[in-house]
Structure 1
C-alpha cells in the first residue's frame, strides 16, 4: 500500500501539470484579467472624480497589473468616459395605479485615444437595463437594493468597456 501512494501522487501531479499547460496553451485567463498591450501603458482614465465606472475601471486595471497614471502627459492611452447616466421608468402598475416595478437603466459612453490624440476606439455606448420590483413593504431595503444594482451596473460596464477595448486593440 505504501508503494502505490507515491505513484498515485506522481500521477495526480502529472495530470495537474498537463491540465495547467493545456489551459495556458489555449489562451485561458481568469475573468477580470485585462490585456493592455505594453506599448499602451501607462493608461490615463478621464472621467468625473466621483464616477462609479471610473472606480470600477481603476480596480480592474490595477488588479491586472496595468499601469494607471494621474498625468495625462505621460499616458500612452487615454480612456475617456464621455457620459454616464442613471435613469428609471415605471415598468408595471397595479389596478390602483401603484407602481409595482421599475426598469433601471445605466448608460455609459466612452472612447480611447492614443498618446498623440489618435483615436484607438471610436465612441461607443453601453445601455444596461434591469427590472426592479417595488413592493409596498421594506421601503428602506428597496432603496439599498436599488443602490446595489447601480453599483453592479458600474462594475459590469467597466468589464464590458475593457472587453470592447481588448477586441478593438487586437
Structure 2
C-alpha cells in the first residue's frame, strides 16, 4: 500500500488558501467599489411613496420662482401625483400650497482686493396640504437648501450665469425635498 504523499496534503492546503484569498479579494474589491460609488456622490434612492390622498391634488404656488414651480411639477409627476385644475377638482381633492421662497446670502470669503469671492445661499419656503375649504391638514412644513457659491469675483456676466445655474439646481433640490417630505404626510 502506498503511503500518502506530502505533496497531496500541501496541494489541499494551497487550494484552500487560494480559495480563501479569492474570497477575501472579492470582498476587498466589493468594498472598494462601494466606497468609490459613495465618494462620487451616488446615493441609492427608492421610489417616493406618496399617500393615496395626495395622488390627485391642486397646486397653489406663491413661490415667486418659475424654475421652482417647473421643478416641483416634474418631481410630483415622477412621484405619480396628478395635478388638476381647481375647476376639475372635487370636494375631496387636497390642495398643496407653497409660500414664497426666501433667499438669504451669507458672505463667506473675500479676496485680497476685498471683493466678495464666496457666499452661502439658502433658499427656504413653507408649504401646507389643505382641504378644499382651506383648513390645513399637514403643515406648515419648512423646506430649505443651502449651497456655497464661488466665482463671485468674476466678471458680472459670468457671475450672473453661474449663480443662475446654481439657483436652478437649488430649486430642483428644494422641489425634490418637498416631494420626499410629502411621502411622510400622515394622511
TM-score scaled by structure 2? 0.63
User: Which residue does the alignment assign to 2:78?
Assistant: 63
Equivalent pairs, count:
141
Partners of 1:154 and 1:124 lie apart in 2 by 17
Shift of residue 133 of structure 1? 1.4
- State the Cα RMSD in Å: 2.6
> Structure 1 regions of 5+ residues with no counterpart?
1-29
The answer to whether residue 148 in structure 2 is matched with residue 141 in structure 1 is no
> Structure 2 regions of 5+ residues with no counterpart?
1-43
The answer to whether residue 123 in structure 2 is matched with residue 106 in structure 1 is yes
Question: Which of 14, 27, 46 is residue 60 of structure 2 equivalent to?
Answer: 46
SS of aligned partner of 2:182: helix
Question: Which of 152, 163, 168 is residue 151 of structure 1 equivalent to?
Answer: 168
Give the 3 Å change call, closer, same or farther, for CA 163–135 of structure 1 in structure 2: closer
User: Which residue does the alignment assign to 2:104?
Assistant: 87
Shift of residue 166 of structure 1? 0.7
Partners of 2:139 and 2:99 lie apart in 1 by 11
Give the 3 Å change call, closer, same or farther, for CA 114–106 of structure 1 in structure 2: same
1:8-47 matches, within 5 Å, as: 31=45, 33-47=47-61
Alignment check: 8 A CA contact 2:105 2:119 kept = yes
Q: Bigger radius of gyration, 1 or 2?
A: 2
